[in-house]
Structure 1
Amino acid sequence: MQQESIKAIPSNRLQFFPIMMFATVMGLGGLTLVFERLYATFNFPKIFATTLISITTILFFTLVFTYLLKIIKYKEEVIKELNHPVRINFFAASSISMLILSATYRDYYMEASEMFFYVGAILHIFFTFYTIRFWINSDFEIVHSNPAWFIPIVGNLIVPISGIGFVDSQILIFYFSIGIFFWIILFSIILNRVIFHKSFAAKFMPTMFILIAPPAIGFISYIKLNQTLDFFSQMLFSLAIFFVILLFFMYKNFLKIKFFISWWAFTFPMAAVSLSTILMYDLTRNSFYEILAYILSAMTTIIVLLVTFKTIEHILKKEICIME
């Protein structure tokens, strides 16, 4: 059966299978976490979360199998991606996918959650150092910068969310510190690039939504570590909401964008801010946050469904996994 499925993938399509496909797991995994929290906080039907976790897990292992096959058959293409100024950042999407799966399995299967955490955390810190070394050793120009740079470095903020109870808190603080520090640095670079230089190409515009993720995930991570809703945590949450409002003020920038796999950049950041709003309601029991959580969760669900539909549509048209 496996041999038949391998043969079904044209060699040229496998050759151009993009590492960015792991962003699909981030988006679906984020939506899974949203429905898990909606079940825990607002008594939503559990079937949504359990169905999504199954789909996300199957998708993750399908992508891992496919990319390992690409490594075996088209090693030179993988090396090209590792040396690409944008695509290199998406290798960390694979480790983030594991960390998200770790969080989704925590309430169902602790052993699986722990396994996903250890592999994901080790792989992610490797990608962090590898990417920073690549940046230092490469001759970048400011126009090469884009919000996807947040993925390998600021993605460290997800580790404390998945790792509570598995490793010492000092290790989780180490990851948190890296994420928060580089979020500030990289945001300054991205803001410089957006304001003073040529605008992003259309295919990179969806990555602007990644600006939402660091403060939203940082808020959840900080609460997990500190167990206190203090001034700093409220500041992180407020910044996440600010970026949501800012991007919706810019809605015209996104309306006419042709479909690219980068559309998945819309999904996980929206899931992150939905999760942070549900957590804020859990901590404050303020009805405003309850309403906001419903609104953001509904928007996240619609966006994920839309992007999933468009992805399937373009896969059927054989417009994905082609040479750019």
Structure 2
Amino acid sequence: MQEPSINPPFPVFSPSEEASVRNLPVNLFGSVMGLSGLALAWRLAHGSLGAPALVGEAIGAFAFAVFLLIALGYLTKLARHPKAVHAEFHHPVAGNFFGTIAISILLLSAVAEPYSAAVAHAIWTVGVVATFALSFVVVSRLLKGRVDASHALPAWLIPGVATLDIAVTGGHMPMGWAPELNLFAGAVGAVLALVLFAMIVSRLVHHDPLAAAMTPSLMILVAPFAVGFLAYSNIVGGIDRFGALLFYFALFMFAVVATKVFRRSVRFSPAWWTIGFPMAALVNAALKYAEFRANGPLWVLAAALLGALSLALAILTVRTARIALNGKLFT
């Protein structure tokens, strides 16, 4: 079976195309997810490994700045090219990347919490509403029927993972309704993630391999289990053996997909930012699990993953800034 002829959920560079904000991809919000997750990981490393506090806080501030910059660009796209945004939202693959906006908002609420609880609570509430709305829309689309099985790509997991992120970032919310909402989000996210994960794996096994440009999205397969570990530990108030099982399967999936993703043959594009948040979730999970077990090899593993994530996002930041400045990001 041939790869479906659908527009890719990220821009394909072509020198003949005119640079325009119309081509700004929504999946670029994945950069905010990765940077926010990295900031939270360094914040954890400060408490457990004695890492400098300034590192995590500086990355968090940078994540906020990147979010505002991309949000301004995408709002400009919405104002000038509403049909392009409409087409992107209704795309069978790219539409799922609107979940990166909701996840970014949820993660930024956690980044902001030490500085202003009121602001963090407000940001989190906006993220919760956006996440549930997107999940409702995505599931409703799937239940209409006649969905092409070849469209079951890793990006389908984003809305489900977004729902799990409500419980990840809402563990310390003081509102009386927050605990029940976290349970609701955990239930929705867990079932969605498992069902969609099975559909995606079936597509990857029985259909043609992903197009080379979509290879980085394989890293999303790590997210349901790494984020699931973080959400579950927040909901139950600790780490038990089931949580440990989630963590170790996330680690296994990372080992499997990393060998497929990190190849020289996969050329750079904004789609590479899809690796950021799944890896950041795994790093945060590794740091929490190492602290729980107080085990030397686990601390080494967590530190190594943190270093790998920091290096990867530094490279992605530099390369994205380069294509933004030379105009290729908008072609």
| TM superposition score normalised by structure 1 | 0.92
Which protein has greater RCO, CA pairs closer than 8 Å, 6+ apart?
2
1:189 is matched by which residue type in structure 2?
A: M
Specify the alignment match of 1:215 in structure 2. 225
1:219 is matched by which residue type in structure 2?
A: F
Residue 147, structure 1, aligned to residue 168, structure 2: no
User: Displacement of 1:302 after TM fit?
Assistant: 0.8
- What are the Cα deviations for residues 12-71 of structure 1, in whole angstroms up to 9, with x where unaligned? 511121111111101111111111111121111111112111111111112222212221
Specify the alignment match of 2:250 in structure 1. 240
Q: Equivalent residues in 2 for 1:1-324 (5 A)?
A: 13-137=20-144, 139-166=146-173, 167-250=177-260, 254-322=263-331
1:301 is matched by which residue type in structure 2?
A: S
Using the alignment, how far apart are the partners of 1:60 and 1:249 within structure 2? 30
- What are the Cα deviations for residues 264-320 of structure 1, in whole angstroms up to 9, with x where unaligned? 011111111110010001211111211111000000011101111221122223211
Specify the alignment match of 1:7 in structure 2. none
User: Displacement of 1:237 after TM fit?
Assistant: 0.6
Query: 1:251/1:74 Cα in 2 relative to 1: closer, same or farther (>3 Å)?
Result: closer
Percent of aligned positions that are identical? 26
Using the alignment, how far apart are the partners of 1:168 and 1:115 within structure 2? 13
**Contact 2:46/2:53 (CA < 8 Å) preserved in 1?**
yes
**Contact 2:34/2:273 (CA < 8 Å) preserved in 1?**
yes
| Structure 1: 5+ residue stretches without partners | 1-10
Specify the alignment match of 1:4 in structure 2. none
Specify the alignment match of 2:7 in structure 1. none
2:308 is matched by which residue type in structure 1?
A: M
Using the alignment, how far apart are the partners of 1:265 and 1:289 within structure 2? 25
**Contact 1:128/1:152 (CA < 8 Å) preserved in 2?**
yes
| Structure 2: 5+ residue stretches without partners | 1-17
Please identify runs of 4+ aligned residues in structure 1 that moved more than 4 A: none
Using the alignment, how far apart are the partners of 1:249 and 1:95 within structure 2? 29
User: Displacement of 1:200 after TM fit?
Assistant: 0.4
Alignment size in residue pairs: 312
Using the alignment, how far apart are the partners of 1:87 and 1:250 within structure 2? 22
- What are the Cα deviations for residues 107-132 of structure 1, in whole angstroms up to 9, with x where unaligned? 23212211110000111100111112
Using the alignment, how far apart are the partners of 2:38 and 2:104 within structure 1? 12
Using the alignment, how far apart are the partners of 1:76 and 1:248 within structure 2? 36
Query: 1:32/1:199 Cα in 2 relative to 1: closer, same or farther (>3 Å)?
Result: same
What SS is found at the alignment partner of 1:85? Answer: coil
| TM superposition score normalised by structure 2 | 0.90
Using the alignment, how far apart are the partners of 2:123 and 2:172 within structure 1? 14
Query: 1:163/1:251 Cα in 2 relative to 1: closer, same or farther (>3 Å)?
Result: closer
Using the alignment, how far apart are the partners of 1:248 and 1:77 within structure 2? 33
Using the alignment, how far apart are the partners of 1:111 and 1:287 within structure 2? 38
The alignment's C-alpha RMSD in Å is 1.7
1:51 is matched by which residue type in structure 2?
A: A
**Contact 1:103/1:161 (CA < 8 Å) preserved in 2?**
no
| Deviates most, 179-188 or 102-111 | 102-111
**Contact 1:278/1:290 (CA < 8 Å) preserved in 2?**
yes
Using the alignment, how far apart are the partners of 1:320 and 1:211 within structure 2? 26
User: Displacement of 1:138 after TM fit?
Assistant: 6.2
Query: 1:77/1:138 Cα in 2 relative to 1: closer, same or farther (>3 Å)?
Result: farther
Query: 1:314/1:234 Cα in 2 relative to 1: closer, same or farther (>3 Å)?
Result: same
User: Displacement of 1:258 after TM fit?
Assistant: 1.0
